[in-house]
């Protein structure tokens, strides 16, 4: 079984909105086609480069789908 370490009380690491070093308007620097878990694709209509809330939602969705937060 994998073990996930998170130093904060919220899943997402650097992608938690409002936490440094992220800033409003920041986006990923690689596209959704390469910044993706192979078993959890981005939803239809996702932007090419996700912003902080979108990336955080993606990570939370993955964690929920695969039971990571248990």
Which pLDDT belongs to residue 23? Answer: 83
Is residue 18's pLDDT more than 80? yes
The pTM of this model reads 0.86
Which pLDDT belongs to residue 22? Answer: 81
pLDDT band at 8 (very low <50, low <70, confident <90, very high): confident
pLDDT in tens, 26-67: 999 999 999 999 999 999 899 999 999 999 999 999 999 998
Is residue 7's pLDDT more than 90? no
State how far the alpha carbon of 9 is from the alpha carbons of 12, 16, 54, in Å.
10, 11, 19
Neighbours of 46 (CB within 10 A): 14
State how far the alpha carbon of 11 is from the alpha carbons of 14, 39, 44, 68, in Å.
9, 19, 24, 10
Q: In degrees to the nearest 10, what's the CA dihedral of 18, 50, 42, 34?
A: -120
């Amino acid at each position: 079984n994998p073990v996930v370490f998170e130093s904060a009380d919220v899943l997402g690491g650097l992608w938690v909105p409002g936490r440094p070093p992220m800033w409003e308007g920041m986006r990923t620097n690689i596209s959704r086609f390469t910044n993706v878990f192979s078993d959890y694709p981005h939803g239809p209509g996702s932007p090419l480069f996700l912003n902080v809330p979108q990336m955080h939602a993606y990570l939370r969705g993955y964690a929920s789908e695969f039971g990571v937060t248990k």
